[in-house]
Amino acid sequence: MKPLFASLLLTLATVTGCAAVPADNIPARPSSQYDAVVLAAKTGTPLAVQELARQLADTDIVVIGEYHGHHASHLLQARLQQALYRQNPAQILSMEQFNLDHQADVDAYLAGTTGETEMLEDANAWDNYKASYRPLVEFARQHQLPVIAANAPTDTVRCVGREGKAYLDRLPEAQRSALPQQAFLDTPEYRDKFIDAISGSHGTEQAELSGRMLNTYQAQLLRDNTMAHRMVEALRNRPGHQLVHTTGTFHSEQRLGTVAVLEQRAPELDITVISPVEWPATEADMPLAEHRHKGDYLYFIQPMPREFRGPEREREAMQARFGQRTTTSCD
């Protein structure tokens, strides 16, 4: 199951250039689950991490898309975070993986008030924190860098997914004021992409986005708009800083989702998108042309192992994983 599709289910529960990689400059395919082959999307030029950082020196926001749990994604994020810091120590780390209502818990850990296990429990950290995100947070902690818990509160997202965007009108003022005033900005392209991902039907009319699917889309938009709002707020509070944001690639590839609403909220900011692309062993040539539109820079990685081979077992597992009732009350 694709990681971006799993991310969407959690919410519920082109420009193709003609330039090619020069024949004498074709990089070797990734040889392990840790390897990432980085290229400039427009030119196909391979880049070392240090050169990528140099090209990003004047960028306000660097968005590094990921496949959740993929070692190559997380290793690249950590290496680029450090390379950018060496150029500009005025750095902010923004993370989809922490929700804004747990900012105080993250800050307490950074300040040395709590230990890691306490922070993981208090902040309701993702299960793969230690394997995937610990290096990012530890680098920030060791260098006294701010870490922004960028995502919307889980319970609020769930209730919007059940009841739609009108749910925000019932929130207590303290909770509502922490969210962006315009919490559901979107673009037609992102709406179409969402429908395709959820329904698997290309070209579905936007009018068909209704009922539970509409509520689910609005929950997705709440995440995107909250993350964009939190990033803009962080930069306005810290002029001259560069912000590095880690997120699932669905939120950022093709400059849609979080990136599109960032551009609506703060068009003055320079935003660069780095997106992952799987390079299957069955494909001899790097699949650049069909993915060039996904980011300003791309990094090619090995696909993760398939979770299931049997469709019936996969169906049962997905129902168990995403169909569990929660104790969240939306009253």
Asked if the model's pLDDT at residue 69 lies above 90, the reply is yes
Give residue for tokens 């296990």.
117
Give residue for tokens 């090995």.
302
Asked if the model's pLDDT at residue 173 lies above 60, the reply is yes
In a domain, 23, yes or no: no
3 state DSSP class of 11:
helix
Average pLDDT over residues 290-307: 96
Domain residue limits at 135: 44-322
Average pLDDT over residues 235-242: 97
Query: Which of 148, 141, 175 has the alpha carbon at shortest distance from 160?
Result: 175
CA distances from 318 to 4, 6, 213, 219, 326 (A): 14, 9, 18, 20, 16
* pLDDT per residue as tens digits for the range 128-137: 999 999 999 9
In a domain, 34, yes or no: no
Q: Where is pLDDT greater, at 314 or 117? A: 117
* pLDDT per residue as tens digits for the range 174-201: 999 999 999 999 999 999 999 988 876 5
How many domains are contained in the chain?
1
Give residue for tokens 């870490």.
147
CA distances from 16 to 72, 87, 258 (A): 25, 32, 22
Instruction: Give the mean pLDDT of the chain.
Output: 90
pTM above 0.85, yes or no: yes
* pLDDT per residue as tens digits for the range 97-114: 999 999 999 999 999 999
User: The domain that contains 132 carries what CATH number?
Assistant: 3.40.50.11550
In a domain, 254, yes or no: yes
Cα–Cα distance for residue pair 18/151, rounded to 1 Å: 37
* pLDDT per residue as tens digits for the range 248-271: 999 999 999 999 999 999 999 999
Query: Which of 174, 158, 177, 152 has the alpha carbon at shortest distance from 227?
Result: 152
